[in-house]
Amino acid sequence: AQSVTQLGSHVSVSEGALVLLRCNYSSSVPPYLFWYVQYPNQGLQLLLKYTSAATLVKGINGFEAEFKKSETSFHLTKPSAHMSDAAEYFCAVSKHTGTASKLTFGTGTRLQVTL
């Protein structure tokens, strides 16, 4: 079975500081990995995804993530946090089932950005 583990349910950074949100995965096959962001009272929006091409994936809003097979990790980073980055972030692994994909989500990390 596939799973993801997000370390840290709550991360607080100062505006302008580095953002690092951790995600480790477990998968018996090469995984497809995703990071989604959820702003308060909204749906989920894709930040970026890993599809076995480049190991360093660039996403929207200045975020990027690096797939490290040896560490089974897919951590999300942003060099400089902005107040608007405050949200809930979810890492997910996808299991392909023909014409659909089952996304298995981590428990989420709430990012707080302070002045």
Partner 1 sequence: DTAVSQTPKYLVTQMGNDKSIKCEQNLGHDTMYWYKQDSKKFLKIMFSYNNKELIINETVPNRFSPKSPDKAHLNLHINSLELGDSAVYFCASSQGGGTETQYFGPGTRLLVL
Q: How far is the CB of 98 from partner 1 (least distance, A)?
A: 6
Q: How far is the CB of 73 from partner 1 (least distance, A)?
A: 19
Instruction: List the one residue out of 16, 10, 1 whose CA is nearest residue 115.
Output: 16
Alpha carbon dihedral 25, 73, 41, 60, in 10-degree steps, equals -130
Residue 32 interacting with partner 1 (CB under 8 A): yes
| Binding-site string for partner 1 from residue 55 to residue 84, where x marks contact by CB under 8 A and - marks none | ------------------------------
Residue 98 interacting with partner 1 (CB under 8 A): yes
Member of 42, 84, 112, 114 binding partner 1 (CB under 8 A): 42
Residue 112 interacting with partner 1 (CB under 8 A): no
Three-state secondary structure call for residue 93: strand
Residue 54 interacting with partner 1 (CB under 8 A): no
Q: Give me the phi and psi of 8, to 5 degrees please.
A: 95, 105
Q: What does the chain come to in residues?
A: 115
Kindly tell me the burial class for residue 77, based on how many C-beta atoms sit within 10 Å of its own C-beta (0-12, 13-18, 19 or more). middle
Complex with partner 1: residue 22 or 49, whichever CB lies closer: 49
